[in-house]
Amino acid sequence: MPLSREDLADLIDGRLPWPQVKAIVSTPKDDDRFQRLLEVLQTRVAWAERILMPLGDHLYVVEKGTERIVKCDCGQEFGDWRCNWKLHSLVLVRDGEASLQEIWPGRSAPDPRLCEVREYICPGCATLLKVETVPFGYPVVFDALPDLDVFYREWLHAPLSSESACEDRSLTVIGQWAADRGAPPGPN
Amino acid sequence: MKKTLKEKLAESRQAYAATGCYAGITEPRLLRSDPIAAELFHSRLLAALIAGRETTKMISGSPYVREVAELAIGLYTPEGHNIAQSTGIQAHSRPMGEAIQWMIEHDWEEKVGIAPGDLFWFNECSVAGMHPADVYDILPVFREGELVAWVCTVIMEMDIGAVSPGCMPVPNVERATDGVRFAGEKVGSHDQLRHDIVTKCEMSFDMADMFLLDRKGAIAANLHVRREVEKLIGECGLEWFRTATCELIEEERRNQLARLRQRTVPGRYRNVISFEYYMAQQPTSWLPAKRDVIRLAPMETRIDASGRVVLDFEGAGEWGWHSFNATPSGMWGCLAIGIVQTLSWDGRANLGSLLPFELELPRGTVFNPGDTRPLAQANTWATTIETFSAWMATLSQTYFMRGFREEMLGFRSAYSIAMVGYDQYGQRRPLLAACTGTIGSAASAVRDGLDPGALLPTPEVDRGNAEIWEAFVPHLDLSHRLDPYSAGAGRYRSGLCMPIMNLIHGGREIVGSALVSGGTYGILPNLGLSGGYPGGKLIRAVLHDTNVAQLIAERRPLVHELGSPADPDYARLIEARISHPHHVPEPFALANGDITIDAHGAPGGFGDPLERELEAICRDLDNGLITAEIAARLYGAEARFDTRMQSWQIDEDASARRRREKRAERLARAVPAREFWVGRSRQLAAREFDPLISEMYASSMKLSESFAQEFRDFWALPASWQPEVP
């Protein structure tokens, strides 16, 4: 169902009345939704880099020169899109009774012996970007690594100017941290 | 010479392997050549299936059928491939076909005989199915002496002859405790059940009347569909019918791929879920089963350039002696029910909807134990629901990225108390009430989640009428109120849940257990998106030796809602001895006047809660969907109740100040990710963690060297590092 630019903006903002949202849910999808979404999103950010992919409510993969990086709409940058952006954020860890009770009171709190809650926060605007609830010690979850080149080239038929392999490079950050720490020297 | 079913099945598989197209149909022509006829054809098939399902609801007496409608009907090709499916519990579309294929592959045609009017039953979950309580009634359809289709109805039974509580028991670990299983047994001919089979049911089940009424409903439904299919073949001809049904599957495969390319983004997506199986105190005679374990399930979804999707569970922990292990059949079933609610919801879902997907379920894991014949399988649902509830969060992430934010949808597992004992009419039997319809759905990026009415297993979720359940089970329903503390907070919050609160009344010698539809408890599922939180842990309370009789005599209030979990109503309003059994409890005694409570946490919210519109918070306050305490604590909103206006007012300036303070507090408390990593890495290196967690990682690392390697690499642990096994 074709959406006007205004309706799409209202949909994104949660202002579209439910009967219209229901109609959008129930009718065939608009093929150009992604391109039109980017148009709306691009007008809302204060920086000039081209948005290639929204990752979250405030996070985008953007084209910065020849690089692709993750960027918050406040302008904070989180490094190469192939490294988990969470590794460049602030983390508020809830792994004790007191801090868990702040969110889930009484018996509704998870078990601090088993569960840890990581809140990833933007250093630039203090926005809560992601809450991760995982077993204690589980590696930081790399939620989404979109294959941008396949997407733009083969699905949108609009290839990006320079292509780069879609591979998880988070361990380059970890390797640096391990080296800085001294021992053991980097990933094994 | 006429081909056997076995030959047809082998040919169909070879054709798909060779072409990638169902039945080798590389150029579907028939349905495209006459779209009107094609549409009419499909509509009539679907109408027959839905009418059959409605027929069952009128004949059956079970509240599971009449109140919450846990049934569905499918039409299958001679090879056992799903052509069309009625409304209802969609998980069985593929497993019912697997059951038919197993019969074909095991020479049923030659050695058992398949004739017009033959009736077969199937609930052998080591072959196919979601759990033994789901019984398949299978009927072949013939035309001119040739088997041309199958009709299959699934109904969930409340009594399958298992050990207490009689259906979906928790303490059972061995096959024989699961109840009666049917592996394609021919139970009737000429459309009639055999007398000896009916007698066997009467001898085997406490609730044989319900079981047999359900069978009559299922047979009636199957006969209705058979008649409609015969009519259709009479009108369009057998060859047209054959080609058209195969093309329906191939067209759906193509459509599903097109939807995936239209609505998702290729790439790699990750999530993780864990399952807590606490069996150490369960009264089971197979002693090796008596251990508490947690099992990890890393979940990687890869969408390739063609749109095909691989769900890879490398790193999953080991299977165990309990009834919660999943199976490949069950995993496919839960995938089917997930995608039918977001991708293929246009009524055309069939086998083709699943063909673009691939499941990688390493053998020996909790998802694929291998030979499951010795195992109890009463709660296969639990692990599969938990898994695919988490997968829906991943699918929602791809919808968000592609811009289809209105399609985001998420679920969470549900639990309730199940019982066995003497009912209010003096009969000893399973005493189950459905826990469906009590859970809110996850938030999307455009609106709050749906208040109760979300459950992965069925799109038509319904809690049923309290009065019917009260007539059926010796309890009185104390609450149908929304629980403000259940929601997952966020810019858009999840839907709210309804606590299940029942007063035991009118029965005797009642034993409590649980109906388990999940595996998470102390570890919250990772369901929050873009800064939203998941709802909290299940709160289960059992109030024994209560003063309810006195409260009723004095006309004082009972308990009808949870209140703040920090100071719950049940602890303040009722004098009682309170226990808090975990999600898979050991059996416990219940008496009249006791109260059972299950208060669930909802799935995830979406977005930073500090960005929730104040207007939405005020609306929730006015509707009783949030408290002023929650508004301040989670949303940074300052609210007061205006007694003159009889409504809530938000102080915008004070709220803005509070939100600034909360953001500043975040920055003050949070640490750079590197600092977190250094600390956690040291703790792991020193093995400073709970023995349950240690054993969980050891189990995954035992099965998967790649998981072990990735774990050690991420935390920069030495190559020799292994978690200790307690």
DSSP state of A168: -
CA distance B106 to B99: 11
Residue-wise pLDDT for B384-395, tens only, equals: 999 999 999 999
Which residues in chain B are contacts of A186 at CB distance < 8 A?
A: 716
Among B404, B407, B674, beta carbon nearest to A177: B674
Q: Residues 6 or more apart from B705 whose CB is under 8 A from it? A: none
pLDDT of amino acid B509: 97
Helices (H) and strands (E) in chain B, counts: 20, 23
SS3 B278: strand
Between helices B208-236 and B238-263, what is the axis angle to 10°?
110
Mean pLDDT of B578-586: 96
pLDDT at B457: 82
Average confidence (pLDDT) over B56-73 = 88
The minimal CB distance from A115 to the residues B524, B539, B680 is found for B524
Q: What mean pLDDT value characterizes chain B?
A: 95
pLDDT at B681: 97
pLDDT, residue B517, reads 84
- With vertex at residue B410, the alpha carbon angle to CA B673 and CA B62, rounded to the nearest 5 degrees, is 145
Residue to mutate among A76, A114, A154, with most B CBs inside 10 A, is: A114
Lowest model confidence (mean pLDDT) among A51-60, B125-134, B199-208, B435-444: B435-444
Q: How far apart are CA A6 and CA A10, in angstroms?
A: 6
* CB–CB contact B565 A107 (8 Å): yes
In B, minimum Cα distance to A186 occurs at B716
Asked if A114 and B690 come within 8 Å (Cβ–Cβ), the reply is yes
Buried b (16+ CB within 10 A) or exposed e, B150-183: bbbbbbbbbbbbbbbbbbbbbbbbbbebbbbbbb
pLDDT given at position B61:
82
Domain residue limits at A13:
1-44
Separation CA B681–CA B690 (nearest Å): 15
Q: Quote the percentage of chain B above a pLDDT of 70.
A: 100
Q: What is the pLDDT of residue A184?
A: 53
Interface contact B660, partner A, CB < 8 A: no
The CA-based angle B369-B375-B376, given to 5 degrees, is 125
Question: For residues B66 and B50, what is the distance between their CA atoms, to the nearest angstrom?
Answer: 15
Encoded amino acid at B723, one letter? P
Buried-exposed string B692-725: b where 16+ CB fall within 10 A, e elsewhere = bbbbbbbbbbebbeebbebbbbbbbbeeebebee
Q: Does A93 reside within a domain?
A: no
Query: Is the pLDDT score of B10 beyond 50?
Result: yes
| Torsion on CA atoms B483, B488, B489, B490, rounded to nearest 10 | -140
Check residue B129 and give left, alpha or beta (phi > 0: left; psi -120 to 50: alpha): left
Query: What is the distance in angstroms between the Cα of A78 and the nearest Cα belonging to chain B?
Result: 12
Position A131 in a domain: no
How does residue B68 score in pLDDT terms, banded at 50, 70 and 90?
confident
State how far the Cα of A14 lies from the Cα of A9, in Å rounded to an integer. Answer: 9
Any alpha helices (H) in B440-496, and if so which ranges? 466-472
Query: Can you tell me the mean pLDDT for B30-50?
Result: 97
Q: How far A152 CA sits from the closest chain B CA (Å)?
A: 10
Partner-chain contact B533 A123, CB within 8 Å: no
Nearest Cα to B282, choosing from B328, B318, B225, B321?
B321
Q: Which of B397, B447, B483, B714 to mutate to test the interface with A (most CBs of A within 10 A)?
A: B714
Cβ burial, residue B205 (10 Å; 0-12/13-18/19+): buried
Give residues 121 to 160 of A whose Cβ lies within 8 Å of B: 121, 123, 125-148, 150-151, 154-155
Work out the minimum CA distance from A165 to partner chain B, whole angstroms: 11
Residue from the list A53, A106, A131 with its beta carbon closest to the beta carbon of B401:
A53
Q: What is the pLDDT of residue B453?
A: 79
pLDDT for residue B539 is more than 50 = yes
- Tokens, residue B153: 């109805």
Put simply, whether B664 touches A (Cβ < 8 Å) is yes
Q: Is residue A58 part of a domain?
A: no
pLDDT for res A183:
55
CA dist B165 and B158 (Å) reads 10
Residues in chain A within 8 Å Cβ distance of B568: 106-107
Predicted pLDDT of residue B269: 98
A109, B537: Cβ pair inside 8 Å?
A: yes
> Per-residue pLDDT tens for A130-188?
999 999 999 999 999 999 999 999 999 999 988 889 999 999 999 999 999 875 544 43
What is the rounded CA–CA span in Å between residue B221 and residue B446?
40
| For residues B353-363, average pLDDT | 98
Q: Does A188 touch chain B (CB under 8 A)?
A: yes
Please check whether residue B443 is in contact with residue B452, taking contact to mean a CB–CB distance below 8 angstroms. Answer: no
Q: Tally the domains of chain A.
A: 1
The verdict on residue A78 lying in a domain is no
Residue A19 in any domain: the answer is yes
User: For residue range B490-527, what is the model confidence (pLDDT) as tens digits?
Assistant: 999 999 999 999 999 999 999 999 988 889 999 999 99
Quickly state the pLDDT bin for B455 (edges 50, 70, 90): confident
| Lowest mean pLDDT segment, chosen from A24-28, B222-226, B265-269, B362-366 | A24-28
Distances (CA, A) of B75 to A184, B20, B23, B495, B608: 60, 23, 17, 35, 46
Cβ contacts of B697 on chain A, cutoff 8 Å = 137
**What's the whole-number average pLDDT of chain A?**
94
For residue B362, pLDDT beyond 50: yes
Q: Which residues contact B437 (CB under 8 A, 6 or more apart)?
A: B68, B452, B453, B455, B461, B462, B463, B464, B498
Q: Give backbone dihedrals phi and psi of A65, rounded to 5 degrees, phi first.
A: 60, -125
Token digits for B618? 């005020």
Q: In the prediction, which pLDDT does B157 show?
A: 93
| A174 contacts chain B (CB < 8 A) | yes
Determine the residue of chain A that is closest to B276 in CA distance: A114
**pLDDT surpasses 50 at A67:** yes
Residue B488: both structure tokens together = 């997952």
Sheet order of strands, A144-146 included:
A144-146, B267-278, B292-303, B309-312, B357-360
Query: In whole angstroms, what is the distance from residue B51 CA to residue B207 CA?
Result: 27
Which chain A residue lies closest to B538 (C-alpha atoms)?
Answer: A108
Q: Using the beta-carbon criterion (under 8 Å), do A142 and B606 form an inter-chain contact?
A: no
Contact B197, B182 (CB under 8 A): no
User: Cβ of B63 under 8 Å from any chain A Cβ?
Assistant: no
Span B666-698, pLDDT tens digits: 999 999 999 999 999 999 999 999 999 999 999
- Structural domain includes residue A49: no
CB B333, CB B154: distance < 8 Å: no
Report pLDDT for A186.
Answer: 43
Which of A25, A57, A167, A177 is the best substitution to test chain B (most B C-beta atoms within 10 A)?
Answer: A57
Three-class SS state of B492: strand
What residues contact B184, with CB distance under 8 A and at least 6 apart? B99, B102, B103, B106, B108, B112, B120, B121, B122, B124, B138
| Distance separating alpha carbons of residues B316 and B334, to the nearest angstrom | 17
Q: Which residue of B has its CA nearest to A166?
A: B267
**Cβ density class B654-673: b for 16+ within 10 Å, e for less:** ebeebbeebbeebeeebeeb
Residue B563 to residue B485: CA distance in whole angstroms:
8
Residue of B nearest to A149 (CA): B266
Q: The complex's ipTM?
A: 0.97
* DSSP reduced 3-state for B182: coil
Q: What is the mean pLDDT of residues A45-72?
A: 97
